[in-house]
A and B are shown apart, each in its own frame.
Chain A
Amino acid sequence: MSWADLLPPFILGSSLLPGLVIFFLPESRRTLRTALNLASACLKLVAVAVLMAVVATGGQPRWEWSLAPGFDLALQADALSLLFVTLSAGLWLVTTVYAIAYLEGAPQRSRFFGFFSLCVSATVGIALSADLLTFLVFYEILTITTYPLVVHRGTRRSLAAGGTYLVYTLSGGVLLFVGTAWLTALAGPVDFASGGATVDTLIHEHPGALRAIFALLVAGLAVKAAIVPVHGWLPVAMIAPAPVSALLHAVAVVKAGAFGILRVVYDVYGVQAATDLGVLTWLAGFATITILFGSLRALVQDDLKRRLAYSTVSQLSYITLGAALATPLALTGAVVHLVHQGLMKITLFFCAGNLSETLGVRRVSEMAGVGRRMPWTMRAFAVAALGMIGTPPIAGFVSKWYLGAGALSSGDGWALAVLVASGLLNAAYFLPILKTAWFEPARKAWPVSSGRLETSWMLLLPPLVTAALSLLVGVCAGVDASPLAWAGRIAREVFGP
C-alpha cells in the first residue's frame, strides 16, 4: 500500500475527526471551534488537490478495511468520485465560513458544527465509495447525521419537518438496502470499477429480478434526489437554517441521490444492460415529470426558500434525465450539472439566508426594492438565477446545452423541448424576483446596516465567491481543467472515445 492509497481515508477523516472533537468543545470556545472548522476544511481541500494530481497521473488509490468477514469498506478515487469530492470539499469550506457568521450568537453551535462535519464526511464517503455496500453504509450515515441539522432550531415546525425528512429518507434507505442485498445475493459484491460487468453476466438469466432490483435501488435513491412523487420532504426541510439548506440543496443530501443514480446506471448496471432492460425510459419519464412539476410548483410559492426548494426538485432531475438518456453528451451534461447546479443553488440559498438574516425578508412579496439595500447579495442572486434559467455564459447554460445536444443524439427530441420549456418556467419564477428586488420601490425603510458593508463580510463573501465561480465555469467551459472538460473525460471513460 503506497501513501497515495491512504489519501481517500485521510480525506474522509479530515472532517470526521474534527467533527467528533467539536462535539466535546464547550459552547464558549468559539475561536478554537472556528479555527478547527476552517483548518480542517482547508486541509481537506489540499488533500483533494493532491488526490487529483495522483489520479491525473494515472494512479487509482484504493483503501479497504474489513468490518466483518466478507464485508469490507472500500474507498477508491476515480474521475466521477473526484468530481463530487472536489465539489463537496470546496463548497464545504465556503459554507463553513457562511455558517460561522450565520449562527453567530446562536445556541448549540458545537452540536451544529459537529453534525455539519459528520454530514460532509458522509458525503465524501459516498463520493469515494468503491462498491455498492460501502455506498449504502455512507448513504445511511448521511441520513442520520443530517437530521439534527434539519431540526437544529428545535421548534415544533422544524421537529415536524425533521420527522417528515426521516420517514422519507429512512424508507428510501430500506429500499436501497433491499436492492443492494438482493443484487449482492445474485451477483456477489458489486464493485463500481467493473462498470456493470457483474450485471452483464446475469442479464439473460434474471432479467425480471434485475429490473426489480433497479427499481428498488433507484426508488431508494430517488427519495434523496427528490424525484416526484417522493420529493415531499425537500420543500418541508427548508425550515432548516440557511447554511444547512444551502449544503442540503447543493451538495450533501440531494446530490447523494443524484450521484447514486449515476453510479447505479453507469457503474452497477452499465449503459448496455440498463438500455437492454428498458429501465432507462422509465427513469427519463420520472425525471421529465419532476422537471416540469418542480418548476410549476415553484411558480406559485411566495416563500423564497420554498420557491428555491421546488426549483431544486426541478433542476436535480436534469441530472437524472441526462443519466437516463445514456449518450456521451447527455452524460457529460448530467455530470457537469452536478457541479453547476451545486454552485448556483448554494449561491441562491446563501442570498436567501442573507436577506432573512439581515433584513428579515423571507417572502418574494417582501423583496420590493431590496436590490438597493443589498446590491451585492442581489447581484450574486441575479447571476445564479440567470444561470438556472440557462443564460449564457453562466454555468447553467453549459449544462443545458449538453443535455439538449445529448437528448438529440439519443433521438429523444422531446427532451430538448422539455429543457426549453423548463428554461421558460425557470424564467417565469426567477425573473419576477429580480424585477421586484430591483425595479420596485421599497415599501418600508430597511434596517440600517451597522458597518460599511450591506451585511457581515462573512455572509457576503460566500455567495459572491460561488456566484463568480458559476460565471467562471461557464465562461471558461472550454478550458482543460473546467468541470465540463472533466465531465467529458468521465463520459469518454464510460462510452469509450
Chain B
Amino acid sequence: MTATMTVEAPWLLFGGKLLFDPVSRALLASTLVIWGLAAWSAARTLPADERRPGHFGFFGLVMGGNLIATVAGDPVTFFLGYALLGLCTYPLIAYDRTASTLDSARLYLVYMLIGEGLLLAALVLSWSPPGGGTFPLHLDARWLALLVLGGLGVKAGIPGLHSWMPAAYRATPSAAASALAGATISVAILGTMRLGLFLPDTGVPSAAWVLLGTAGTLFGVVRGLTRSEPEHVLAYSSVSQMGIAITVLGARLTGGTSDAAVLLAVTAFLVHHGLAKGSLFLGVGLVRDGTLARLPRAVVLGGLGIPALALAGLPLSSGSLAKTGLAEATHLVDYLEPFLVVSSAATMMLMLHFLETVVAPTEPSPRRAHVSAAVGPWAASVVSVLLAVWLWPDFRPMARTALRPENMVHALWGPSIGALIWLAVTRTLRRGRRGPAGPSWVERGARVLTARWEGWLGRYRETRPALRQLPTSARRSLRHAAVDFEGAVGSLDRYVGTWTLTGTLFLILLLALSRLL
C-alpha cells in the first residue's frame, strides 16, 4: 500500500486537489477513529438542551475541516480545511457560555486568527497561478519559513504560541477536547511537512529546528509537572510531544536520512499520539463527571494507564512502535538516540504525574449532574490505542522492528529512567508529609527548576491580566488616534460643506484650467 492517488476538483476554489498517500491515508483513518469516538461520547454525555444542536453542528464543521486539511493536496485546499477547523473550534470551546470559557475561547481565537493571517500570507507567497501549486512547495526564504511556522505553530503549540492550549482544553467538553487534542493538532504538523517547512530550501539550519523542538519537548514536560488540572497536564504533554515531532523533522536536514521513511515514521508518531491523547481526554471526561469513581480502581488505572504509558513509549505499546520508527528512520543522526531516550523518560514522569492528578480527588465538574454512559467510547478508544498502529498495513515494517527483542529492551530504558526518577523524587520528598493536600513534590521541585522559564514564557498566568489590558489600551489609543483624524477630516468636511468655499475653489480651479487649455 504505497501507491499515491490524487483526486482533482477543478471547480473548487482555484482548483482543489486531494492527495491520498501513505501519510494522509494513515492520518485520515486515525482522524476518523478519533472523531468517531468523540462523537459517540458527545452523544452520550451532552445534555439535551438548546446548546446541543449547535455543538454538534460545529463539531461536524471542525471535523470536516480536519478531514479536508488532512487529505489536502494543494495549499489552497489545505488552508480551506485549516481555516474551517480553526474558526469553528471557537464555539466548541465556548460551549459553557460562562465568562471564563468565553475568555478561553477568545484567547484561542486571537492566537488562531493571527496564525491564520500569517499562514495565508505564506501560502499566497508560495502559490503559483494559475491552476494552483502542488505539494511540496519550495519555500525559498527564511522569513517565509517563519510565516509558516508562526501560522501552524499556534495550532501545534510550539513554546511561546501555546498559551491558549491548556485553557481551551479545560473549557471544552471532554468529547470535543479529545478530538481537538488528538486529531486537529496533527494537522499542524502535517501542514509543516506538506509545505516543506523542514526542507533545506528554507535556509533554516537543522540546529534551529532541533533546538526549537527540544525546547518544546522539555518545556512541555516541566510546565506540565507544575500543573494539577489533568487537562492542563495533557495540554503541556501535547506541547512536549509536538516538540519531539519538530526535533525529528528538523534533524532530517542533517542528511543521511530517507525522507519518505522519516515522514512515515512521523506519521506513525502522530497517529499514535492522537489516539492516545484522544483516549486520555475521554477518560478525563469520565473522571470529571464522576463515572470513573464508580468503576473498579484496576479498570480505571488500566484504562488511563494504557494510553498514558503508550505516550511514554513502553515496549509493546503504540509509542514503542512510533519511537522505534523515528529512531530507525533517523539512525544516522547520532544525537537523536539519546534525545528520544530522554524525551521518553520525561514523558514517563509527566504521565505518572497525570495519573496522580486524575486518581487524586478532583473538584466536581459543573457537568456532574449529567452522569454519563460514555464508558463505551472510552473503552473502544483504549482498544484502538492497543491495536491500531500495529494493524495498519503501512506501519508493518516499523512494527516488525519494534518487536525485535533488542529494540524492546531498548524501549524500556527511557520509561524506566523516568519512572525511577519520579518515584525516587516523590518518595524522598514526600517522607514526613501528612495528608495529600498541597502541591505534589514533583510539582514543587519542578516549580523551582522552572523559575527561569516562568520568567519569560511560563509566567503568562501572572501577566495575562496585564496582557488582556494591552489590547484594551491599544484599542483605546487607536480609537483616540482615529477619532482625532476623523475629527480633522470632519472639520475639513465642514469647510468643504460650505458652498462658498467649494464654489470659490472651483472658480479658481476653472480659471487655472482655462489658462492651461
A-side residues, CB < 8 A to B, are: 163-164, 167-168, 171, 174, 178, 182, 185, 209, 212, 228-229, 232, 293, 296-297, 299-300, 329, 372, 386, 390-393, 397-398, 400-401, 404-405, 408, 416-417, 420-421, 423-424, 427, 431, 435, 438-441, 474-479, 484, 488
Question: Known: A164-B497, A229-B489, A398-B13. Contact between A182 and B124, CB under 8 A?
Answer: no
A contact residues around B356 at 8 Å (CB): none
User: Which B residues from 55 to 97 make CB contacts under 8 A with A?
Assistant: 76, 79-80, 83-84, 87, 91, 94, 97
**Bound complex: CA of A293 vs CA of B11, how far in Å?**
36
**Cβ-based interface call for B499 (8 A):** yes
**Cβ-based interface call for B490 (8 A):** yes
Q: Which of B11, B94, B102, B124 is in CB contact (< 8 Å) with A416?
A: B124
Query: Interface SS of chain A: helix, strand, loop or mixed?
Result: helix
Query: Contact between B12 and A476 (Cβ–Cβ < 8 Å)?
Result: yes
Surface stretch bound by A, among B33-41, B208-216, B443-451, B502-510: B502-510
Query: Contact between A297 and B117 (Cβ–Cβ < 8 Å)?
Result: no
CB-nearest residue of chain B to A488 = B130
**Cβ-based interface call for B127 (8 A):** yes
Query: Contact between A393 and B80 (Cβ–Cβ < 8 Å)?
Result: yes
Question: Known: A297-B486, A386-B87, A416-B124. Contact between A401 and B113, CB under 8 A?
Answer: no
Question: Known: A423-B117, A478-B11. Contact between A299 and B478, CB under 8 A?
Answer: yes
Smallest CB–CB gap between A445 and chain B, Å? 16
Query: Contact between A439 and B102 (Cβ–Cβ < 8 Å)?
Result: yes
A contact residues around B7 at 8 Å (CB): none
Query: Contact between B478 and A296 (Cβ–Cβ < 8 Å)?
Result: yes
Query: Contact between A405 and B129 (Cβ–Cβ < 8 Å)?
Result: yes
**Bound complex: CA of A7 vs CA of B329, how far in Å?**
69
Q: 0/1 per residue, B4-19, Cβ < 8 Å to A?
A: 0000011111111000
**Bound complex: CA of A427 vs CA of B16, how far in Å?**
26
Smallest CB–CB gap between B503 and chain A, Å? 10
Query: Contact between B517 and A182 (Cβ–Cβ < 8 Å)?
Result: yes
CB-nearest residue of chain A to B86 = A391
Q: Which of A171, A178, A228, A300 is in CB contact (< 8 Å) with B489?
A: A228
B contact residues around A405 at 8 Å (CB): 124, 127, 129
Query: Contact between B482 and A297 (Cβ–Cβ < 8 Å)?
Result: yes
Query: Contact between B117 and A300 (Cβ–Cβ < 8 Å)?
Result: no
Smallest CB–CB gap between B185 and chain A, Å? 21
CB-nearest residue of chain A to B478 = A296
**Cβ-based interface call for B493 (8 A):** yes
Q: Which of A163, A164, A392, A404 is in CB contact (< 8 Å) with B83?
A: A392
Query: Contact between A296 and B482 (Cβ–Cβ < 8 Å)?
Result: yes
B contact residues around A232 at 8 Å (CB): 489-490, 493
A contact residues around B12 at 8 Å (CB): 393, 475-478
CB-nearest residue of chain B to A477 = B13
B-side residues, CB < 8 A to A, are: 9-16, 50, 76, 79-80, 83-84, 87, 91, 94, 97, 102, 106, 109, 113-114, 117-118, 120-121, 124-125, 127, 129-130, 475, 478-479, 481-483, 485-486, 489-490, 492-493, 496-497, 499, 502, 506, 509-510, 513, 516-517
Q: Which of A163, A228, A386, A423 is in CB contact (< 8 Å) with B120?
A: A423
Interface contacts beyond A391-B83, A401-B124: sample of 12 additional A-B pairs, CB < 8 Å, sorted by A: A171-B502, A178-B509, A296-B481, A300-B475, A300-B483, A372-B50, A401-B76, A401-B127, A404-B120, A404-B124, A416-B121, A478-B16
Q: Which of B102, B106, B482, B517 is in CB contact (< 8 Å) with A185?
A: B517
B contact residues around A386 at 8 Å (CB): 87
**Bound complex: CA of A320 vs CA of B413, how far in Å?**
64
A contact residues around B486 at 8 Å (CB): 297
Question: Known: A164-B497, A408-B124. Contact between A474 and B13, CB under 8 A?
Answer: yes
Query: Contact between A392 and B496 (Cβ–Cβ < 8 Å)?
Result: no
Q: List 17 A-B contacts (CB under 8 A).
A: A167-B496, A168-B496, A171-B506, A174-B506, A212-B516, A300-B483, A391-B87, A392-B76, A393-B12, A398-B14, A401-B14, A404-B121, A420-B117, A435-B106, A438-B91, A476-B11, A484-B14
A contact residues around B125 at 8 Å (CB): 408, 416
Q: Which of B10, B80, B475, B482 is in CB contact (< 8 Å) with A392?
A: B80
Query: Contact between A420 and B490 (Cβ–Cβ < 8 Å)?
Result: no
Smallest CB–CB gap between B59 and chain A, Å? 16
Smallest CB–CB gap between A241 and chain B, Å? 23
B contact residues around A421 at 8 Å (CB): 117
B contact residues around A212 at 8 Å (CB): 516
Query: Contact between B13 and A478 (Cβ–Cβ < 8 Å)?
Result: yes
Q: Which of A163, A390, A392, A400 is in CB contact (< 8 Å) with B13?
A: A392
Smallest CB–CB gap between A349 and chain B, Å? 22
B contact residues around A439 at 8 Å (CB): 91, 94, 97, 102
CB-nearest residue of chain A to B121 = A420
**Bound complex: CA of A243 vs CA of B102, how far in Å?**
35
Query: Contact between A478 and B10 (Cβ–Cβ < 8 Å)?
Result: yes
**Bound complex: CA of A400 vs CA of B120, how far in Å?**
10
CB-nearest residue of chain B to A167 = B497
A contact residues around B496 at 8 Å (CB): 167-168, 171
**Bound complex: CA of A312 vs CA of B62, how far in Å?**
30
A contact residues around B76 at 8 Å (CB): 392, 401
**Bound complex: CA of A164 vs CA of B493, how far in Å?**
9
CB-nearest residue of chain B to A398 = B13
Query: Contact between B121 and A417 (Cβ–Cβ < 8 Å)?
Result: yes
B contact residues around A477 at 8 Å (CB): 12-14
CB-nearest residue of chain B to A484 = B14
B contact residues around A185 at 8 Å (CB): 517
**Bound complex: CA of A174 vs CA of B502, how far in Å?**
10
CB-nearest residue of chain A to B499 = A167
**Bound complex: CA of A393 vs CA of B121, how far in Å?**
16
B contact residues around A293 at 8 Å (CB): 482, 485
Question: Known: A386-B87, A405-B129, A408-B124. Contact between A300 and B479, CB under 8 A?
Answer: yes
Smallest CB–CB gap between A419 and chain B, Å? 8
Smallest CB–CB gap between A224 and chain B, Å? 15
**Bound complex: CA of A393 vs CA of B14, how far in Å?**
10
**Bound complex: CA of A164 vs CA of B79, how far in Å?**
44
Smallest CB–CB gap between B10 and chain A, Å? 5
Smallest CB–CB gap between B517 and chain A, Å? 6
CB-nearest residue of chain B to A392 = B80
**Bound complex: CA of A423 vs CA of B83, how far in Å?**
13
Smallest CB–CB gap between B412 and chain A, Å? 47
**Bound complex: CA of A325 vs CA of B83, how far in Å?**
27
B contact residues around A168 at 8 Å (CB): 496
CB-nearest residue of chain A to B490 = A232
B contact residues around A182 at 8 Å (CB): 513, 516-517
- Pick from B15, B117, B485 the residue with the most CB of A within 10 Å: B117
B contact residues around A438 at 8 Å (CB): 91
- Pick from B13, B15, B79, B496 the residue with the most CB of A within 10 Å: B13
Smallest CB–CB gap between B132 and chain A, Å? 9
Query: Contact between A329 and B129 (Cβ–Cβ < 8 Å)?
Result: yes
**Bound complex: CA of A386 vs CA of B113, how far in Å?**
12
Query: Contact between B120 and A424 (Cβ–Cβ < 8 Å)?
Result: no
Question: Known: A229-B489, A391-B87, A427-B113. Contact between A178 and B127, CB under 8 A?
Answer: no
**Bound complex: CA of A458 vs CA of B11, how far in Å?**
32
**Bound complex: CA of A484 vs CA of B76, how far in Å?**
15
A contact residues around B14 at 8 Å (CB): 398, 401, 477-478, 484
**Bound complex: CA of A201 vs CA of B55, how far in Å?**
64
A contact residues around B483 at 8 Å (CB): 300
CB-nearest residue of chain B to A295 = B482
**Bound complex: CA of A416 vs CA of B124, how far in Å?**
9
CB-nearest residue of chain A to B113 = A427
Question: Known: A232-B490, A439-B102, A478-B10. Contact between A299 and B479, CB under 8 A?
Answer: yes
**Bound complex: CA of A392 vs CA of B72, how far in Å?**
14
Query: Contact between B478 and A178 (Cβ–Cβ < 8 Å)?
Result: no
A contact residues around B124 at 8 Å (CB): 401, 404-405, 408, 416
- Pick from A174, A404, A420 the residue with the most CB of B within 10 Å: A420
B contact residues around A163 at 8 Å (CB): 497
Smallest CB–CB gap between B177 and chain A, Å? 18
Smallest CB–CB gap between B27 and chain A, Å? 21
